Chain A
Amino acid sequence: MELAWYALLGLFFAGYLVLGGYDYGVGLLLARGADAPRRRAALNAIGPFFLGNEVWLVAAVGILFGAFPVLEGELLAGSYPAVAAALAGVILVTAGVQLRSRPGGRSARTAWERVIVVGSLLAALGWGVVLAGLLQGVPLRADGHVAGVTHLFTPFAAATGLAVLALVVAHGATFLTLRLPTVESDRLRPLAHRLLLTATVAVGAAAVVALFSDRVRTAAQRPAAGVLLAMLLVAALLAARVALGRRRPGVAFAATATALALPVLLVGVTLWPYVLVSTVEPSASLTVTDAAASGPTLRLLGWLAVPLLPALLGFQAMCLWIFRGRTDGRAPVYW
């Protein structure tokens, strides 16, 4: 029961990183200095999916609260600065994308674009640091609370933040090669190619820092699985590069999407059976079962929410299906 909910939590958070990830990637690419119509075209390529993307985060936190209340409290409060930064980023992007085109003037639109860039940056870095914080363990005391926030400021957390940032940008560029009209997509391909290389290097660097970090080595319960999944991540990025080179943007996007989902799996598997490993008091570490809500709550949520799951995913799939394909002259322009 706990395992099923843990998997669902992972699914929703990974879904958020994949879907929100390309929003932020596209957002960051606005800083590239393309002309105004191109920037607007990029935002409208996200268009109908935008609102449905970030709601995966809302759902993930809902599951976190309902099914893993203890983890919710300690994880969020214990990673306060990272979570707050990510949250501020999410808000800036939400407001920026939706309000950017409401004023007519050029300068107002440029200002909103900056808001989107800053928001995307904060969100990508923030979530990267939160994931790193899980992987390197937290100072969870015997009283069940995480002491202080300085534990977040490590080379590994910084490297992971940057790696997620690089992943997100590469993912966003790949998404645009898939969504924009063919002419534009051809223009973007070399950039996406370069960004994928950068992401590969950044992920590799984070992995090396992890290998040299005592805290990560101690916290990891299944280091072999962790290394394997990290290699898979790099492989996914390389596959995306090859696919882009062969003009298969769909395959490339699937590969970068896998690359964004993998960090969540990596954290879950490497720490299993723990979710929160204490660096100061081994007996205080939280296992998945410790962190989960009690039986009746999980059963209730199961009865109410799980039958709805196919509907939730079905409507999202319907949205992807209706608005599939490249944007063209018939696509509505709103953002």
Chain B
Amino acid sequence: MDTLLLARLQFATTASIHFLFVAVTLGLVTLLVGMQTAWVLTGNHRWERLTRFWGQLYVINYVLGIATGIVMEFQFGLNWSGLSRYAGNVFGAPLAIETLVAFFLESTFLGMWIFGWHRLRRGAHLALLYGVAITAYASAFWIMVANSWLQNPVGYEVRDGVAHLTDFAALLTNPALWMALGHVVSAALLTGGLLMAAVSAWHLNRRTTDHALFRTSLRIGLVTAALAITLVQGFGFAQFGPVGGVQPTKFGGNPEADALIADWTARFGPGDYLPPTLSNVGLGFMILIGFALGLLWLLVPLLWRDWIIRLRFPLWLIMLTLPLPFVALILGWIAREVGRHPWVAYGLLPVDQAVSPISPWLMATSLIGFTLLLGTLAVTNWTLLARHAARGAADPALGRPPAQPPADDPRPEPAFA
């Protein structure tokens, strides 16, 4: 067994699970902000119910974002101590900023938001959700700064065999950063929008109660998803230029790549410096999915006079497309991350020098243990999400007035609970 391979597998697994959840988090929180703002501005009860229902799903989904995120954060130290030692001066900075500036406040705000219904004034309660959303975007920004540095190290100089920060601004103007950020954020919006549309479509198709409510969220979700897929495509194609520029070896052989490989061979010794083709196959599928989802625009005109609901089959289509963005998310990341192989930091630090010198048995135990743990939690979480989505908006626990006895929780509770 090979410690390096196991460490890479572990990173790939946790990162994938993490991203499946955080993309939904990022997408849904944006839509929630809109819905709660509408509630506060108009005072219309329907917006409150929408906020509670989708907020409930958002909060359930959030749990695994945190759980897997914490594992991601620790993994750098546990499995990649060579990365901390060599690049910590530069790569650690955006991560530290992310935790302090974004996560710390995000979680504080979210806790207050969940328990603040019926307790805080409406404006203050809404402000908390804005806080959650802004910090969520901030975290996406800083993590992409960190990731982009691995893709294309800039703003550093190597002294005594360790990278030191020389120019922080270069990290923020990294050519690998901005288009990727736009792509990730719009992909998250697409995922959130499509999730909302698909759950609404399920209810409308089943003719459950709350027709008007789910009609509204179907519209919001579909329009968001359609707008977002266009952005995803735009930013996606816009990435080829800058990424191909800084990583000539990523998208297959070309003269530039050959020159670079010759240079690396001279400096780091002979080796296989081209990424496995697997990553580009994934990229192709992702782009295919991207084009397919572009067809969502064809459904938008059907919103007129509710044809989309009356015809029924568009509802089925929406439900069937739901897995696609998730598959694309993973494929996209695999393309980006495996595509920089064999480097942790492109052209600077090879993976085998970054991995922690620990025994393969320990690494294997950790890989199996955490994969089982997070995998089980992920499946449980999705089951709970599906149940709550199917239960409908009659009485979500989130925002339930304290005086109202919960339907799912037979009293007698003690007087205080």
A residues contacting B by CB (< 8 A) are 37-38, 40-41, 44, 47-52, 54-59, 61-67, 69-70, 72-77, 80-81, 83-84, 87-88, 90-92, 94-95, 98-99, 101-104, 144-145, 148-149, 180-181, 184, 293-294, 296-297, 300-301, 304-305, 308-309, 311-312, 315-316, 318-319, 322-323, 327-334
Pick from B79, B98, B164, B165: contact of A62, CB under 8 Å: B98
Q: For the complex, is B320 an interface residue (Cβ under 8 Å from A)?
A: no
CB distance A305 to B416 under 8 Å?
A: no
A-side contacts of B63, CB under 8 Å: 94-95, 98-99
Extra A-B contacts (19), CB below 8 Å, given A77-B81, A332-B119: A51-B108, A58-B104, A62-B73, A62-B97, A65-B76, A66-B95, A67-B96, A69-B87, A73-B80, A75-B77, A84-B369, A144-B85, A148-B359, A300-B168, A308-B100, A322-B112, A331-B402, A333-B400, A334-B397
Given A73-B81, A294-B164, the answer on whether A333 and B402 have CB atoms closer than 8 Å is yes
Given A73-B81, A77-B356, A300-B168, the answer on whether A104 and B96 have CB atoms closer than 8 Å is no
Q: Which 7 A-B pairs have the closest CB atoms?
A: A69-B88, A66-B96, A62-B99, A73-B81, A76-B77, A104-B408, A51-B111
Chain A nearest CB from B22 CB (Å) reads 14
A-side contacts of B380, CB under 8 Å: 99
CB distance B416 to A184 under 8 Å?
A: yes
CB distance B97 to A94 under 8 Å?
A: no
CB distance B100 to A312 under 8 Å?
A: yes
CB distance A87 to B71 under 8 Å?
A: yes
Q: For the complex, is B373 an interface residue (Cβ under 8 Å from A)?
A: yes
B-side contacts of A104, CB under 8 Å: 408-409
Chain B nearest CB from A41 CB (Å) reads 4
Residues 377-405 of chain B: 1 if any A CB is under 8 Å from the residue's CB, otherwise 0? 10011001001100000000110101100
- Could you name 30 residue pairs across A and B whose Cβ atoms are closer than 8 Å? A48-B111, A51-B66, A52-B112, A62-B97, A62-B103, A69-B84, A69-B89, A72-B92, A73-B84, A73-B356, A74-B81, A77-B77, A77-B81, A80-B78, A84-B366, A84-B370, A92-B373, A94-B63, A99-B60, A102-B384, A102-B388, A145-B357, A319-B112, A327-B416, A328-B416, A329-B415, A329-B416, A331-B417, A334-B114, A334-B115
Number of residues on chain B facing chain A (CB within 8 A)? 87
Instruction: State in angstroms the CA–CA spacing of A95 and B64 once bound together.
Output: 7
A-side contacts of B417, CB under 8 Å: 37, 40-41, 44, 327, 331, 333
Instruction: State in angstroms the CA–CA spacing of A40 and B119 once bound together.
Output: 20
A-side contacts of B83, CB under 8 Å: 73
Q: For the complex, is B166 an interface residue (Cβ under 8 Å from A)?
A: yes
Instruction: State in angstroms the CA–CA spacing of A55 and B369 once bound together.
Output: 23
Instruction: State in angstroms the CA–CA spacing of A227 and B67 once bound together.
Output: 37
Instruction: State in angstroms the CA–CA spacing of A98 and B356 once bound together.
Output: 33
CB distance A37 to B413 under 8 Å?
A: yes
Q: Which of A67, A76, A331 has the most CB of B within 10 A?
A: A76
CB distance B166 to A38 under 8 Å?
A: no
Q: For the complex, is B110 an interface residue (Cβ under 8 Å from A)?
A: yes
Q: Which positions 37-65 of chain B face chain A at CB distance < 8 Å?
A: 59-60, 62-64
CB distance B93 to A301 under 8 Å?
A: yes
B residues contacting A by CB (< 8 A) are 59-60, 62-64, 66-67, 69-71, 73-74, 76-85, 87-90, 92-93, 95-101, 103-112, 114-120, 162, 164-166, 168, 356-359, 362, 366, 369-370, 373-374, 377, 380-381, 384, 387-388, 397-398, 400, 402-403, 406, 408-409, 412-417
Q: Is the interface of B mostly helix, strand, loop or mixed?
A: helix
Chain A nearest CB from B192 CB (Å) reads 20
B-side contacts of A37, CB under 8 Å: 412-414, 417
A-side contacts of B90, CB under 8 Å: 297
Given A94-B67, A305-B96, A333-B402, the answer on whether A65 and B416 have CB atoms closer than 8 Å is no
B-side contacts of A49, CB under 8 Å: 111
Instruction: State in angstroms the CA–CA spacing of A300 and B164 once bound together.
Output: 12
Instruction: State in angstroms the CA–CA spacing of A210 and B176 once bound together.
Output: 51
B-side contacts of A103, CB under 8 Å: 384, 387
Instruction: State in angstroms the CA–CA spacing of A52 and B111 once bound together.
Output: 7
Pick from A70, A72, A294, A316: contact of B76, CB under 8 Å: A72
CB distance B108 to A63 under 8 Å?
A: no
Return the chain B residue nearest A181 by Cβ: B416
Pick from B89, B115, B359: contact of A48, CB under 8 Å: B115
Chain B nearest CB from A115 CB (Å) reads 9
Pick from B66, B85, B101: contact of A69, CB under 8 Å: B85
CB distance A52 to B108 under 8 Å?
A: yes
